[in-house]
Structure 1
């Protein structure tokens, strides 16, 4: 199926203020109360019937004159946000008791208190945490995320009675994938369907992190407005982010109606403080889920999140174990060799593949490249390297701990799109830049068919000025063939690549420091005046890091006096500024310099020497130290 769509824009949907709808769902009651004196300053229209007091008379009364909560004691200090659990409510002022039992829950804020009331009993189903305990225990034994998700969906549907229960997982771009499902036999399956990120916009995802369980008892409800619209003292609409009764966006209600859904319950799956996915329950007739059933759903979602986190940690530990093995081999080989060479990395190719779960790896050393696994040809690898080096990716230069990566080579480098079959994804890590060494891991193209619940492009809003927000209406199966992409690199794979780079650079730096110490020892024995110059940082001038005895004797000073001196202090005051500036410029560029200048020493006649600055090798490939030799002018 294919469709032509107009230009699309989701900004309007993303700006919808869903946390301040100004109304609640009509199966409950909301009271807004002044913290100081307990007076009711705002109330939903449904409050009048429940409390048996006209709304106009209700405002200004103390809440505890109208109802009594069998609740834990209110905190003496509500300087911070606090949520209190549900408890039974009595209505002593009513002429007769309500037809059903009610419960209430407090949401306490420094500027206002919110009290929401709802029926205690669910007419169609009920569930308790005691009944959910066997499921929670069994989730701890599941050996895979898919198995845990399917168990949670199946057992939760049995507990709370919805027609369909789905586990919905977000990808890196916030598209959703139904990874588990339990449903009544007559319903078509949604398992494996994908939903575009625009179906759950950013501000909705933010609320799912804050308010973990939400229900809609009947999508056809008529909202109960909060009166007055603005808080009398704060002059602002009441923020209902934490309120279970919060009215829902009309766009979302229409979206559900277009799907044929009448009631929903959604619980957030939060793993390591990030929204991993959702438990989404659908019912095809009105269905009220009381607070105990919501508590069960919350407990299941948290237990499932815990199991997902644990299984993810186990997978991470396995990869870290492989990485540790590779590190140990590198360190052992490095200690046994004089230098870290391309041949050494070649010998470890299979280990390098395991570290990042790649299909292939290429080891660059100068203009030579060694290939292992599924990788492009040597000529094609050279093209990739040329594009990377020409693209000025600063994160890969100098001492930055960077790893350039992509899972869609044609999007990052359009000129390389033809290489997707063998290198749709890659990680590039430079090593020993002075030798132009680098590692390049590759993943082959993964051509796949994605089953969308409707055309994902039509899920977005038409860019029509002043148009009404409206959701998509079609959920027919729409298949998309994805080409030119590889399996995405996981954060752990990228961390492994970066860790290898850090390890190799540290080993090279250690070797450099050892060589530097040997160099200083050798220079100390020379009769010619020599020094080591260290490039200044943050705009400071270069300075002396080492001088030998001959150098100190020439300047008629002690070695300790010279160490740390700025380079300019070596030249006589009448040295040509153009020449000294040329030295500074060449050193900033990491280049050699050869200039004849007068020395700053006490002498009856000017003493000239040729200053020969030779850059020393650096593990970063950018010279930071120079060998300075003072010679008689030629």
Structure 2
């Protein structure tokens, strides 16, 4: 019988080999599978008679009581049913002592026994303990990983006496490399040789995590069947993946025979619970390593794993702190810039300081930033399109991009390796880091691609383990955890800055919208007033014109006709003037965009004084100027209109009791420029008219030339510029109008 009744294994299907249901064990111990509730025997290894007085054919359905004395049975039940079972336990069966290994599987108990071997004496135990203590102390003193690995394989070889002990480290593709070795003279060395991932298939690597110590005492030994193969309770093969004695895969045994190996001991190096490597021990002749020494070697493997972890954490933390300082400095410069785009544009070279990458590209806010050695812009945009459409993970890293993105074969000189971090898939925003192709010379233990075909058409493992060299192309240096984590941190911080800026922009837009809404409401109110003005100012003359027409129609003589026509002409002229005034108001209300420019205040004042020269001469007015600010930014036509209205009002509403004095002044008030026109004229009763000061057609002195539009238009124009127009006045003293922009 093979390991499986209906399954044959070769290199074409070894990845799918169901090693958990192998139906055979190694012969240096025996196995019983018991019903967990009744302890009745369900399956047994055929070699049990080599260790106990028992016939496997007679044990089915019987309890352990059929195998042992009553006193032994009671103690055995207690040991098997104890919670938190220790492995191994010292069991006594038929007066013989055994190492007993017990575990649960599919409602059954798997009991395995190896003959108990007592240490040679206290001296041997003391020597082993002392040697292990010295090993730990020396391991801490070694400063490099290779030195620590060399010390480890040397100690293991000394402890078990094997011909060859290797420390085998996995890479990210699960290929292995021997980084340290102790080998007896005359044997082939595999130091720095590589072994393909197919040598240890997926399910075998998973087993190395669950079962970190695994011994094959005799590669050529005849395996022992478990009978029956199908468990009678479950009608399926029993899962014995955690077994101490489970027979190895036949393909693995053939592999070891081709290497000339007859005994192996493998010790998993688990770093943070993950398979980092193996301490692989090989011997040219069969040898059984007892439990004491296996346990010692397991402790050694754990000690080495701890120093690997400590060294990684120290190295990674120190390097990560350096990266973090660079990332924080870059982010601070971005935050202190006017925008994220500007900050990135000025500091794009800092991206490369965050990793061992030789090129970087950032797609953000519709812009692309590159630094270092990167593919062309076209190739980068095609890569981003591929990431958007095909990659669901937020972080993608690979040292061989062309295996998942075939177009990368043309750009592997710059980007054999890619670290890609998604910022926004919707906006096609990514942070990309690139590493170039390295031409790596790799030494294999035999050609990993050429298993030997035989006449049976079964694909056997390679028979030659001679040195075989290969140049590895299309790969970059691997990405470290530090590089991945610092890039993730940068992306998180960039998103935070972008969101903060977007929030500020939204708040500014909301403020602008509120201001615009307020202005529109004010403007609508004024336009509503405008309709009332139209209704009032046009309805009355139209009604009068209808009345005159009725008068003419009732008495159409020449005298009446002449009188009506003269009155009609006056009304039409007045209506025309009113319409002109209303057009001026409407134009001011509807004006939205005006050219802003630096305007000379003195030039505008001089121009308007010249326009008002006749009124100045007529009134013998004295005009003074005190311009502490010479220029102001705004539409010149508005400033001219406002100054004209204010100056003409100062002259128009002068007092007959004193010489008119008008003063024009300007000054800086915080962030505003203020302009004032003061006079010593009639003044205004603010208590009476203050609320109507800037209403259209509001007049206060009965002047026949007053229309009440100047101040209204001035206020509209000043507020259109975001400024304010205020007034201080006292009857008989004078008035000051102040404009602040």
CA, structure 1 residues 521+295, in 2 after alignment: closer, same or farther (shift >3 Å)? same
Q: Residues of 1 paired with 2:206 and 2:368: CA distance? A: 50
Q: Residues of 1 paired with 2:234 and 2:202: CA distance? A: 27
Q: Residues of 2 paired with 1:61 and 1:370: CA distance? A: 76
Structure 1 stretch 256-265 or stretch 450-459: which is displaced more? 450-459
CA, structure 1 residues 272+395, in 2 after alignment: closer, same or farther (shift >3 Å)? farther
Whether 1:13 and 2:9 are equivalent positions in the alignment is no
Q: TM-score, normalised by structure 1?
A: 0.71
Q: What is the CA-CA distance between 1:164 and the residue it aligns to? A: 0.8
- Specify the alignment match of 2:352 in structure 1: 353
Q: What is the CA-CA distance between 1:65 and the residue it aligns to? A: 5.3
- Specify the alignment match of 1:155 in structure 2: 155
1:408-487 equivalences in 2 (<5 Å): 408-411=400-403, 413-428=405-420, 440-459=432-451, 467-468=457-458, 470-487=460-477
Q: Residues of 1 paired with 2:111 and 2:426: CA distance? A: 68
Q: Residues of 1 paired with 2:45 and 2:483: CA distance? A: 52
Q: What is the CA-CA distance between 1:71 and the residue it aligns to? A: 8.0
- Specify the alignment match of 1:272 in structure 2: 272
Give the one of 75, 79, 91 matched to 1:74: 79
CA, structure 1 residues 123+21, in 2 after alignment: closer, same or farther (shift >3 Å)? farther
Q: What is the CA-CA distance between 1:44 and the residue it aligns to? A: 1.1
- Kindly indicate whether the alpha-carbon contact (under 8 Å) linking 2:335 and 2:497 is maintained by their aligned counterparts in 1: no
Whether 1:219 and 2:211 are equivalent positions in the alignment is no
Q: Residues of 1 paired with 2:314 and 2:142: CA distance? A: 13
1:32-431 equivalences in 2 (<5 Å): 32-64=33-65, 66-67=67-68, 68=72, 73-74=78-79, 76=81, 83-92=85-94, 102-109=98-105, 111-121=107-117, 128=128, 131-342=131-342, 344=344, 346-347=346-347, 349-350=349-350, 352-361=351-360, 371-372=371-372, 375-376=373-374, 380-391=375-386, 393-394=388-389, 402=394, 405-411=397-403, 413-428=405-420
Q: Residues of 2 paired with 1:276 and 1:335: CA distance? A: 41
What are the Cα deviations for residues 116-171 of structure 1, in whole angstroms up to 9, with x where unaligned? 11123399998755642332343344433333222211111111211111111112
What are the Cα deviations for residues 444-484 of structure 1, in whole angstroms up to 9, with x where unaligned? 3211111111111124x8799x9546322221221111123
Structure of greater relative contact order (alpha carbons < 8 Å, 6+ residues apart): 1
- Kindly indicate whether the alpha-carbon contact (under 8 Å) linking 1:28 and 1:118 is maintained by their aligned counterparts in 2: yes
Whether 1:527 and 2:532 are equivalent positions in the alignment is no
- Kindly indicate whether the alpha-carbon contact (under 8 Å) linking 1:363 and 1:371 is maintained by their aligned counterparts in 2: no
Q: Could you say what secondary structure the match of 2:381 adopts?
A: helix
Q: Could you say what secondary structure the match of 1:489 adopts?
A: coil
Q: Could you say what secondary structure the match of 2:100 adopts?
A: strand
Q: Residues of 2 paired with 1:141 and 1:19: CA distance? A: 41
Q: Residues of 2 paired with 1:368 and 1:40: CA distance? A: 71
- Specify the alignment match of 1:558 in structure 2: none
What are the Cα deviations for residues 81-112 of structure 1, in whole angstroms up to 9, with x where unaligned? x653223343436xxx6xxx632222234611
- Specify the alignment match of 2:561 in structure 1: none
Q: Could you say what secondary structure the match of 1:38 adopts?
A: coil
CA, structure 1 residues 462+16, in 2 after alignment: closer, same or farther (shift >3 Å)? farther
Q: Could you say what secondary structure the match of 1:509 adopts?
A: helix
Q: What is the CA-CA distance between 1:215 and the residue it aligns to? A: 0.5
CA, structure 1 residues 172+122, in 2 after alignment: closer, same or farther (shift >3 Å)? farther
Q: Residues of 2 paired with 1:198 and 1:330: CA distance? A: 44
- Kindly indicate whether the alpha-carbon contact (under 8 Å) linking 1:269 and 1:278 is maintained by their aligned counterparts in 2: yes
Q: Could you say what secondary structure the match of 1:525 adopts?
A: helix
Q: What is the CA-CA distance between 1:316 and the residue it aligns to? A: 2.4
Q: Could you say what secondary structure the match of 2:31 adopts?
A: strand
- Kindly indicate whether the alpha-carbon contact (under 8 Å) linking 2:89 and 2:101 is maintained by their aligned counterparts in 1: yes
Q: Could you say what secondary structure the match of 2:234 adopts?
A: coil
- Kindly indicate whether the alpha-carbon contact (under 8 Å) linking 2:269 and 2:279 is maintained by their aligned counterparts in 1: yes
- Specify the alignment match of 2:25 in structure 1: 24
Q: Residues of 1 paired with 2:483 and 2:191: CA distance? A: 28
Q: Could you say what secondary structure the match of 2:206 adopts?
A: helix
- Kindly indicate whether the alpha-carbon contact (under 8 Å) linking 1:29 and 1:46 is maintained by their aligned counterparts in 2: yes
- Kindly indicate whether the alpha-carbon contact (under 8 Å) linking 2:384 and 2:430 is maintained by their aligned counterparts in 1: no
Give the number of aligned pairs: 507
Q: Residues of 2 paired with 1:236 and 1:550: CA distance? A: 88
CA, structure 1 residues 401+17, in 2 after alignment: closer, same or farther (shift >3 Å)? closer
Q: Could you say what secondary structure the match of 1:214 adopts?
A: strand
Q: Could you say what secondary structure the match of 1:279 adopts?
A: strand
- Kindly indicate whether the alpha-carbon contact (under 8 Å) linking 2:33 and 2:42 is maintained by their aligned counterparts in 1: yes
- Kindly indicate whether the alpha-carbon contact (under 8 Å) linking 2:260 and 2:284 is maintained by their aligned counterparts in 1: yes
CA, structure 1 residues 72+330, in 2 after alignment: closer, same or farther (shift >3 Å)? farther
Q: Could you say what secondary structure the match of 1:225 adopts?
A: strand
Q: What is the CA-CA distance between 1:441 and the residue it aligns to? A: 3.0
Q: Residues of 1 paired with 2:34 and 2:522: CA distance? A: 84
Q: Could you say what secondary structure the match of 2:19 adopts?
A: coil
Q: What is the CA-CA distance between 1:425 and the residue it aligns to? A: 2.6
- Kindly indicate whether the alpha-carbon contact (under 8 Å) linking 1:403 and 1:497 is maintained by their aligned counterparts in 2: no
Q: Could you say what secondary structure the match of 1:177 adopts?
A: strand
CA, structure 1 residues 17+405, in 2 after alignment: closer, same or farther (shift >3 Å)? closer
Q: Could you say what secondary structure the match of 2:90 adopts?
A: strand
Q: What is the CA-CA distance between 1:313 and the residue it aligns to? A: 1.9
CA, structure 1 residues 406+346, in 2 after alignment: closer, same or farther (shift >3 Å)? farther
Q: Residues of 1 paired with 2:239 and 2:433: CA distance? A: 49
What are the Cα deviations for residues 407-459 of structure 1, in whole angstroms up to 9, with x where unaligned? 33544555453443344334355779999986543323211111111111124
What are the Cα deviations for residues 274-296 of structure 1, in whole angstroms up to 9, with x where unaligned? 21111110000011011111111
- Kindly indicate whether the alpha-carbon contact (under 8 Å) linking 2:361 and 2:368 is maintained by their aligned counterparts in 1: no
Q: What is the CA-CA distance between 1:527 and the residue it aligns to? A: 3.3
Higher helix share: 2
Q: What is the CA-CA distance between 1:178 and the residue it aligns to? A: 1.0
The alignment yields a C-alpha RMSD, in angstroms, of 3.6
List alignment gaps of at least 5 residues for structure 1.
1-8, 531-547, 552-634
CA, structure 1 residues 549+232, in 2 after alignment: closer, same or farther (shift >3 Å)? farther
Q: Could you say what secondary structure the match of 1:180 adopts?
A: strand
- Kindly indicate whether the alpha-carbon contact (under 8 Å) linking 1:405 and 1:427 is maintained by their aligned counterparts in 2: yes
Q: Could you say what secondary structure the match of 2:169 adopts?
A: strand
Q: Could you say what secondary structure the match of 2:279 adopts?
A: strand
